């Protein structure tokens, strides 16, 4: 079974690297006004395929070896984490799609997106590190980071509602992107929750 677990771990790390670079590319491209939809779509599809392969291997390992304790928790968590990494790709594609929907948004204020994007990218990196090292301490930091992204999103929506005369294209495009970033942050937090489950067997209490 050890060889199977190593293979599963390697597949998860491949997904981690790809999902991280996909989200970073999508966010940077939005800020720079670059159309990278085709590239991000390909990466998103690759992540979806990898997720299916992780699930198939995980089910095979459970059926063949009937693992218990930490090994079983690790295998089950790999399926959850693979789903999270696949969602990173899906939301990255959604972010890249915004330029296609709204066209030139170079005149819009992108500072909230820049701030939330940097936080989301940091959360992805931290969630990967926490999973790789099985560090509950690192994973526990993700909840507070998630709150920051949530607050940026809700503050923007509230301010936009109080200023109905603003540029509609800028407001709607930024709201969409911030929502996608908020969901990316959520999934990074779920990866951290999986680390807690692997190490302790406990599930994190959700807000």
In a domain, 116, yes or no: yes
In a domain, 89, yes or no: yes
Task: Spell out the SS3 assignment of 98-117.
Answer: HHHHHCCCCCCCCHHHHHHH
In a domain, 46, yes or no: yes
In a domain, 207, yes or no: no
In a domain, 34, yes or no: yes
Q: pLDDT band for position 207 (50/70/90)?
A: low
In a domain, 206, yes or no: no
- The candidate with the shortest Cα–Cα distance to 158, out of 181, 130, 178, 138, is 178
- In tens, the pLDDT along 166-192 reads 789 999 999 999 999 999 999 999 999
Q: pLDDT band for position 204 (50/70/90)?
A: confident
> How many domains does one find in the chain?
1
In a domain, 110, yes or no: yes
CATH value at residue 194: 1.20.58.220
In a domain, 153, yes or no: yes
pTM value?
A: 0.94
The domain of 27 spans 2-200
């Amino acid at each position: 079974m050890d060889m199977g677990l190593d293979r599963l771990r390697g597949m998860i790390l491949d997904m981690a690297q790809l999902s991280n670079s996909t989200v970073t590319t999508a966010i940077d491209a939005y800020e720079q006004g670059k159309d990278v939809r085709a590239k991000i779509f390909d990466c998103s599809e690759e992540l979806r395929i990898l997720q299916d392969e992780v699930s198939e291997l995980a089910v095979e390992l459970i059926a063949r070896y009937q693992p218990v304790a930490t090994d079983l928790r690790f295998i089950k968590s790999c399926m959850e984490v693979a789903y999270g990494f696949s969602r990173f790709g899906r939301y990255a594609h959604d972010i890249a799609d915004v330029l296609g929907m709204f066209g030139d948004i170079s005149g819009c204020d992108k500072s909230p997106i820049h701030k939330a994007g940097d936080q989301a990218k940091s959360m992805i990196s931290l969630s990967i590190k926490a999973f790789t090292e099985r560090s509950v301490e690192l994973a526990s930091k993700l909840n507070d980071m998630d709150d920051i992204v949530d607050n940026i999103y809700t503050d923007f929506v509230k301010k936009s509602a109080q200023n109905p005369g603003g540029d509609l294209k800028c407001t709607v495009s930024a709201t969409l992107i911030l929502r996608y970033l908020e969901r990316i942050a959520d999934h990074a937090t779920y990866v951290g929750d999986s680390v807690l489950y692997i190490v302790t067997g406990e599930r994190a209490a959700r807000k």
